[in-house]
Amino acid sequence: MRWGLMGAGHGGRGGGLFGIGETIAKTIKDDIGVRFADVAGCEEAKLEITEFVNSLKNSKQYQDLGAKIPKGPLLTGPPGTGKTLLPKAIVGEAGVPFITMNGSEFLEMFVGVGPAWVHDMFAVARKNAPCILFVDEIDAIGQKRGCRHFGGRSERNTLNQLLVEMDGFNSTTNVIVLASTNRPHVLDPALMRPGRFDHQIYTGPPDIKGKSSIFRVHLRPLKLDESLSKDALARKLAALTPGFTGADISNVCNETTLIATHHLNPCVGEKHFEQAIQRVIGGLEKKTQVLQPCEKMMVVYHEAGHEVVGWFLEHADSLLKVSIVPRGKGLSYAQCLPRE
């Protein structure tokens, strides 16, 4: 997607003083309500992660064969591609407690308490075994030691405590430790060695088939116009949303319902989806910014010039749509269809 003129491309906090002295990790024991059927667009990742579900469901079978139950994988990939949703689906499939914490929460309040919170979080996991322990955005505490961009002694001590706790889990502990990051290159090598996060699962942006699957998931609860077929609509919307992630698609479907509600429509129609896609790509339409005829002509020539040149370039992506309606920070935008 290219911009035109003027464009710009629950748990409590413990019972001690100020919440110190007890873990701030969230522990969810009830049914989390997410299954693998609710996760689409990352079929390879789901297939890889099934191994960890089986190890929780059939731990005795693994142990009888002498297998070491894996600690858990590191989920990597761009934002919005399902790194946080997949652990919830594992919990839903395995039917075990879910203990979760964001990496930045270890460092957010008082200097020096991070290691204690790491210790307490793992203690809670042992108490609730079998369970899944998930550290989201682990790069907040797991960056390479000695890196000039990585905090001070408190951050290093927190990372060291995390390494110690992971080494303290053996194959009979029956706790799967998962983590996610969109910056695996900044992680300390000690985190990636065998016995820790030695198994990486990449969740990338979905292709057009994956986007169609994601749209079908998010179309389920919507009250669609009777003339619309969910499968056909999902395929069309997937073609209209090049480069979108699962989070973007979820946002589009939510915006669609808001637009339909705003216009007092009894159901969601295809035009509402088109308006929602434009809103997610370019922002709200700026109805107060009225271009003079000469300004509008300049914008038209600008966009037309780009597209004419692109037409003659062998490797340029196919043009999907051009708009000169001012949205967000731009006066126009062009949307192309990558070769997926």
Q: Model pTM?
A: 0.78
> Within a domain: residue 17?
no
Q: In sequence order, what E strands does 42-174 have?
A: 74-76, 98-102, 131-136
Same domain, 211 and 193: no
Same domain, 74 and 139: yes
pLDDT mean over 58-79: 81
Same domain, 160 and 106: yes
pLDDT mean over 42-51: 87
- What amino acid is encoded at 25 in this protein? A
What CA dihedral angle connects 71, 72, 74 and 80, to 10 degrees?
-150
Q: Is 82 exposed, middle or buried (0-12, 13-18, 19+ CB in 10 A)?
A: buried
Per mean pLDDT, which range of 226-230, 286-290, 293-297 is the poorest? 286-290
Is the pLDDT confidence value at 254 over 90?
yes
Same domain, 162 and 295: no
Phi, psi (rounded to 5 degrees) for 322? -125, 135
Is the pLDDT confidence value at 175 over 80?
yes
Q: pLDDT digit string (tens) for 292-328?
A: 888 888 888 888 888 888 888 878 777 777 777 777 7
Is 165 catalytic? The answer is no
> Within a domain: residue 13?
no
> Within a domain: residue 96?
yes
Look at residues 202, 230, 260 and tell me which one is the last residue of a structural domain.
Answer: 202
More confident residue, 15 or 219: 219
Same domain, 151 and 231: no
Same domain, 316 and 289: yes
Same domain, 108 and 87: yes
Look at residues 149, 176, 202 and tell me which one is the last residue of a structural domain.
Answer: 202
Same domain, 78 and 146: yes
* Average pLDDT over the chain, rounded to an integer: 83
> Within a domain: residue 21?
no
The strands making up 131-136's β-sheet, listed across from edge to edge, are 26-28, 98-102, 131-136, 175-181, 74-76, 200-202
Can you give the pLDDT at residue 305?
85
Can you give the pLDDT at residue 209?
94
pLDDT band at 9 (very low <50, low <70, confident <90, very high): very low
> Within a domain: residue 247?
yes
Euclidean distance between CA atoms 299 and 72, whole angstroms: 52
Can you give the pLDDT at residue 171?
61
Can you give the pLDDT at residue 277?
92
> Within a domain: residue 3?
no
> Within a domain: residue 138?
yes
Is the pLDDT confidence value at 168 over 50?
yes
Same domain, 226 and 322: no
* Residue 129: both structure tokens together: 């075994």
Residues spanned by the domain of 258: 206-282
The strands making up 333-337's β-sheet, listed across from edge to edge, are 2-3, 333-337, 318-323
pLDDT mean over 206-228: 94
Q: Among residues 137, 226, 303, 314, which one is catalytic?
A: 303
Same domain, 166 and 245: no
> Within a domain: residue 57?
yes
pLDDT band at 60 (very low <50, low <70, confident <90, very high): confident
Same domain, 34 and 147: yes
Report the number of distinct structural domains present in the chain: 3
Can you give the pLDDT at residue 309?
84
Same domain, 155 and 193: yes
